[in-house]
Amino acid sequence: MAGAFVDGALKGFNMMERHQSRQFNEQRLSDLDKRNEERYQQEQMRRADLDKQRKAERAEDVAFRNQQAKLNNEHRNATLRSMNDYRNKSIEQRAAETTWQQNYQTQQDTWKKDQGDIALGWQAFREYGKVPEALEEVFKRNPTKDPRRYTDPALRESVKQLHSVMGEAIKTGQLSKVNEPDSIKLFNNVFKEKINSSVGHFDKLVGAKIADVNFAGFVPVEDKEGRVALALEVTYENGSKEVKPMTKGRTSQSDDPVLTFTPKELIGTINSAATMADMMERPEYYDRLGMQLNANMGIRTSPQSKANDAKEAEYRKAKMQLLESKAKALADVESGKGAPIPLEGEAKEQAIAGVETQFQKQMEQLDSIYGKSSSPEKSNKKQAGTVKYTSHIDGVDAKGVIAKFMEANKNLSEQQAIQIAIQQGYLSNEQ
């Protein structure tokens, strides 16, 4: 009985032990699973944090590279801008260094070409009462030579007064009178259009456009010839005013030299204006100029001279027609009239050059027909005195003929006297 009890107790004990062991194993497995789950969650969190950190690092790296690229681009662009600015400034500086020389040379070349056209325009105005349309640009460049300007009685009076004042001042040596207010005002009135030629130009030194220019007086230059410069009062669009000398190139560049005149050159310019004013008031005098010269030399007008006059009139008329044709052709090129497509750029320049070339050939043919010389070189030689002249007046040599023409009219220059004598048939040049 006792053995059965003990055996039962042992079995119960073993069963209890196994039960406790199972509970322990289950608890251990549960704890192990819990720890594994915790480790898993921790690993997931660690990986998530690591991914987040890597993303942040990648974003920072991308931002850094973008910033570096931006800085590099900005630096490169700044370097390029700096190089371009330097190159542009260098180009501008080189261009500025030659601008006044180019302007001055262009003015001189244009003036040489315009002189003949100015005389032609005056002749046309005398004969027809108007200036040919083809010569409008010539007188626009030379406003003080325009015959229409001298139809104003007030201007003619100013010219006379200025001529008298300047002539007396130079003759008596009282040069201070030329800077008196009335004299300055007269000079400004007579040459206003020429003085005002720079209006509208931009003065880089001042940083504003020129609105008006007025003559402010003569400034003596210390040299043996007694030269003077022209002081100009320049008014700018911003309201400021400055007194500056007239320069050769008519620019505001620091190296553009001051334009100066000898007393003889100055009075010659005023004499020219006085002659034009006189021609407008006494046209009959200049119409009879040839007859007066003939009378002073005791010569009667010959049929030959009348024929020469008629031939000269035909030549002037033909030349004016050529000039008008040229002006119309150039206007057609500019407007594109008659062309399927308006010309631009190089094609336009070539068309203009073609018109100029054609006109030059026609002028040469016309000059050849009428026995004229259109060569600038020949003209310059004549002015330089390298061409010999033959007199057609018995007992009077070429110099005597020229001298008598100049004596008959004090306003004539030697070259003008020679031209009139040739036109009248009293001189001819030896080629």
Instruction: Write the pLDDT tens digit of every residue in 34-60.
Output: 778 888 888 888 888 888 888 888 888
H helices within 129-180, ranges in order? 136-141, 153-172
What are the phi and psi torsion angles at 412 (to 5°)?
A: -80, 135
Q: Given pLDDT bands bounded at 50, 70 and 90, which one contains residue 152? A: very high
pLDDT value of position 307:
56
CA distances from 142 to 115, 147, 178, 291 (A): 10, 11, 24, 31
* pLDDT > 80? residue 144: yes
In this structure, is the dihedral angle defined by the CA atoms of residues 15, 18, 24 and 27, taken in order, positive or negative?
negative
Contact between 326 and 355 (Cβ < 8 Å): yes
Helix (H, G, I), strand (E, B) or coil at 149: helix
pTM above 0.85, yes or no: no
Question: Which of 127-141, 237-251, 417-431 has the least mean pLDDT?
Answer: 417-431
**Taking all residues of the chain, what is their mean pLDDT, rounded to a whole number?**
75
- In degrees and rounded to multiples of 5, residue 209 shows phi and psi of -80, 150
The mean pLDDT of 63-70, rounded to a whole number, is 79
Mean pLDDT for the stretch of residues 411-424: 68
Rg (CA), the chain: 48
For β-strands 228-236 and 241-245, DSSP reports them as antiparallel
The secondary structure of residue 251, as a DSSP letter, is S
Q: CA–CA separation, 37 vs 268, rounded Å? A: 117
**Residue 394 has what pLDDT?**
66
Residue predicted with more confidence, 338 or 248: 248
Of 159 and 388, more confident: 159
Measured distance CA(169)–CA(388) in Å, rounded: 38
pLDDT higher than 90, residue 185: yes
Q: Which of 163-177, 307-321, 409-423 has the highest average model confidence (pLDDT)? A: 163-177
Task: Say if CB 424 and CB 417 are below 8 A apart.
Answer: no
The pLDDT assigned to 212 comes to 93
The phi and psi torsions of 235 (rounded to 5 degrees) equal -105, 130
Structure-model confidence comparison of residues 388 and 180, the more confident one: 180
Least confident of 23-27, 34-38, 107-111, 373-377: 373-377
For residue 343, the model assigns a pLDDT of 65
Q: Residue 371: what pLDDT? A: 74
d(CA 22, CA 163): 141
- Token pair 């969650």 is found at 41
- On the question of pLDDT at 380 being above 50, the answer is no
**Cα dist from 353 to 25, 151, 356, 393, whole Å:** 113, 36, 5, 45
Q: Is the pLDDT of residue 93 over 80?
A: no
Reported confidence tier of residue 299, pLDDT bands at 50, 70, 90? very low
The answer to whether residues 229 and 260 touch, using CB atoms and an 8 Å cutoff, is yes
pLDDT value of position 424: 62
Ranges 183-187, 190-194, 309-313, 347-351: which has the least confidence: 309-313
Average pLDDT for 294-318: 58
Burial class (CB in 10 A: 0-12, 13-18, 19+), 70: exposed
Q: Cβ of 397: how many Cβ atoms within 10 Å?
A: 12
How far apart, in whole angstroms, are the C-alpha atoms of residue 130 and residue 118?
A: 13
Of 428 and 282, the one with more pLDDT: 282
d(CA 93, CA 87): 10
